[in-house]
Structure 1
């Protein structure tokens, strides 16, 4: 019976981490359903982007208040993990405050954690007010109904409760230290919880121990729950922001990639030594599908983008098409891509890793053609994203499919391309008549 709490703790820890690792495997599998793309160039720039954007939060502080509050919550998540490490060691070996031997350093760490926990609580409350009382418009777009709206609030509640449990645990521990309770050695500095402990002045020693142990267990179980909740939440960006910024686009934002199959055809047409009537060699591969109609047609970086989306809405807020009432929302493009990818993943799970056609695709079933053609390709969404997500690349790939596979471009665009083909210009005038305007007096 003496080691029962330790055994129970190890069991909970193994189950929690095991389930998380299993979901990470599914996440990796789903992302790698995308096409291969070479993103290993210019590594120093990629490392710098990751350090500045993901670690340094450089694009978050463009909006100073929200950026500062986000940095506080972010630091809370990163730094308090040191305290989580101590809890894990204590839970496995039955110790209490195993790092107390660090002396003044430990006192400083605990004091820092407590101050940071209070700041996180303040930031979470402000974020909740912005969502539910001020009701910022970008949090109430059509795509933010149902689960996305609940998820945004639920994550705030989880963070709030975890910080309260941490402070309650410390406050009870502080009281027990003052009472010289057995097993509760004098360690740590408690600039916040020492005042909270005054609320527990009427509790007996056994009740204080029960309170401290309850808060301790709920805190670590809550953290394991939060860890596994990430896979189902927009807060997956806590983990994926780092690889996503590393693999982000480095070229000019207005530069679009050329299709290899089309490039080969053009080069063949321009080659004076090429025989236009020659039959293709036997080893010549058929041209691949042009553009994208489903998630498997996108590359894996685009699928990583979809999972990394924070649903913050900065992209949609900056989108000129959305501002003028068009259906397009870059945030919805990313959310739809992720939802379709998750649906494909469930099909794979149900068929032991084999994908069987389910009669659906990203185009039409999730993203409409009206949304795609509303985009002005201005790159405002790409510039606004705090974690280097590129919704425009998905839009352009799906447009490419519509034009080159289905000849389904809007009539105005078809007219323009027809004029370029026939007249060498986008206007419906014969080349011989172009200068007629100059003869008019």
Structure 2
């Protein structure tokens, strides 16, 4: 019976990490449903982006208040959870504060003291975040796509962080050995008097209860990430690395289309001959995208990484002028459909069975796609290098090239370019008439 707590701890740890790994494998499987894409170029720039954007939070702090608070939570939560290593060792081997035994007293005191200060800063930041969402009610958190679960999710994660920080402080405040040592109890020394009058045995029970709830809470939090927008805690780093490094206005060309255009522009070419630059394998099965499987793997990673912060939508000129488009909703819809496809595959033993739905039409409407001005404001605003515009443009490409479903104005323009060599309805001889007006 002496080792029963250690066995229970090991079982909980294995189950928690095992369930997390299982869900991460689902995400990887779903992302791999997308088209492969080569992102091996510009490695030095990609690593710089990770350093500045993912680690340095350079795009977050462009909005000083939320950026500064997020940096506190980000840094604090990561550093505080270093103590999880000590908890795991204590839980598995039955030790108590192993760090206090193996580290110099000043170093251990400095670490725990830093953790306590950061935990208070995290608490304050989280409370401010909650007030911004629920009392001040900042506009970007009130959009139609933020009703129901997305709104609840944002609050649940804040409650999680409050509880975990409080448990950490209570655990330290009721640990009589730690408080007696008087090294590192920078904040908890002021909480300890709240428990005056309790017996040593009762303090031990409170301390152990807080200890168990803290580590179990961390494992629950870890596994909650899969169901939450806060998956970006893990995915932001690969997403930023794989983010676009080409100029934002550059449009990707399809080799098959490029070869066809070159053939049409060559006066000496045989129109019935297959172009030399391409082969049947180079011609895509579908031009553009109407379903998540038509998107590439980076776009699907983007969908899972979306923080639902709404910075993209708040910068979108189409949205600001009352159009239906919300770049955030584009990413949320893509993720929701991808999850639905993943569940379909699981239910059908590894194969996707047509469910009569697709991303285009059932989730994202033509109206949303054509409202986009392609200004890249959403791409510039995203703090983790997500590119909603790439999805919009691929779906537009499908509408134009597969369904001829462009708006009338665009169809007229393309017809004029084809017939007259210009967007205007003038023949070749009259193209310069505008200068006389």
The match for 1:22 is 22
**Residue 116 (structure 1) aligns with:** 118
- Counterpart Cα distance in 2 of 1:361 and 1:310: 23
C-alpha separation in 2, matches of 1:188 and 1:98: 15
Q: Deviations over 1:327-349 (max 9, x none)?
A: 00000000000000000000011
Q: CA deviation at 1:417?
A: 0.6
Specify every segment of 5 or more residues in structure 2 that has no aligned partner in the other structure, as ranges: none
Q: Is the 8 A contact 2:77 2:122 kept in 1?
A: no
> TM-score under structure 2 normalisation?
0.96
Determine if contact 2:174/2:207 at 8 Å carries over to the other structure. yes
Change (3 A) 1:87 1:438: closer
Tell me: CA distance 1:195–1:293, structure 2 relative to 1, closer, same or farther (3 Å). same
Tell me how far 1:76 sits from its aligned partner.
1.6
Q: Confirm or deny that 1:31 pairs with 2:28.
A: no
Cα 1:269–1:417 shift into 2, 3 Å: closer
1:352: Cα distance to partner?
1.6
- 2:63 matched residue in structure 1: 63
Task: Tell me the TM-score normalised to structure 1 length.
Answer: 0.95
Q: Does 1:267 align with 2:297?
A: no
Contact 2:117 2:187 in 1 (8 A): yes
Provide the secondary structure at the position in 1 that maps to 2:307. coil
Cα RMSD between the aligned structures?
A: 1.6
* Residue 276 of structure 1: how far off its partner (Å): 2.3
The aligned residue for residue 352 of structure 2 is 355
* Structure 1 residues 145 and 224: alpha-carbon distance in aligned structure 2, compared to 1, 3 A threshold: same
User: Is the 8 Å Cα contact of residues 174 and 206 (structure 2) preserved in structure 1?
Assistant: yes
Task: Describe the superposition over 1:267-303 as per-residue Cα deviations: whole angstroms up to 9, x where unpaired.
Answer: 3334566432236899733542100000000000000
- Judge conservation of contact 2:299–2:387 (CA < 8 Å) in 1: yes
Cα distance per residue 1:196-218 (max 9 Å; x no partner): 01010010111100000000000
Matches of 2:274 and 2:59, distance apart in 1: 53
Does residue 289 of structure 1 match 2:286? Answer: yes
Q: Look up the SS of the partner of 1:34 in the other structure.
A: coil
* 1:383 correspondence with 2:380: yes
Give the corresponding residue for 1:168. 170
Q: Secondary structure at the match of 2:431?
A: helix
Contact 1:176 1:208 in 2 (8 A): no
Q: CA contact under 8 A between 1:6 and 1:92: conserved in structure 2?
A: yes
Q: Which runs of 5+ in 1 are unaligned?
A: 180-185
Provide the C-alpha distance between the structure 1 equivalents of 2:251 and 2:264, rounded to a whole number of angstroms: 22
Structure-1 separation of matches of 2:71 and 2:38: 32
CA 1:435–1:44 in 2, change beyond 3 Å: closer, same or farther? closer
Looking at structure 2, the residues matched to 437 and 384 of structure 1 have their Cα atoms a distance apart, in angstroms, of 39
Which residue of structure 2 lines up, in the alignment, with residue 227 of structure 1?
A: 222
Give the paired residue count: 433
1:193 to 188, 199, 204: 188
| 3-state DSSP of counterpart to 1:248 | coil
In the alignment, structure 1 residue 208 sits paired with structure 2 residue 228: no
For 1:338 and 1:28, the matched residues in 2 are separated by 13
Match of 2:364 in 1: 367
Judge conservation of contact 1:176–1:205 (CA < 8 Å) in 2: no
Distance (Å, rounded) in 2 between the aligned partners of 1:177 and 1:192: 12
In 2: Cα distance, 1:230 partner to 1:42 partner: 31
**Relative to structure 1, is the Cα distance of residues 63 and 270 closer, same or farther in structure 2, using a 3 angstrom cutoff?**
same
- 1:101-112 to 2 correspondence within 5 Å? 101-102=102-103, 103-112=105-114
Alpha-carbon distance between aligned partners in 2 of 1:232 and 1:276, rounded to the nearest angstrom: 53
Q: Write the distance in 1 (CA, Å) between the matches of 2:430 and 2:177.
A: 95
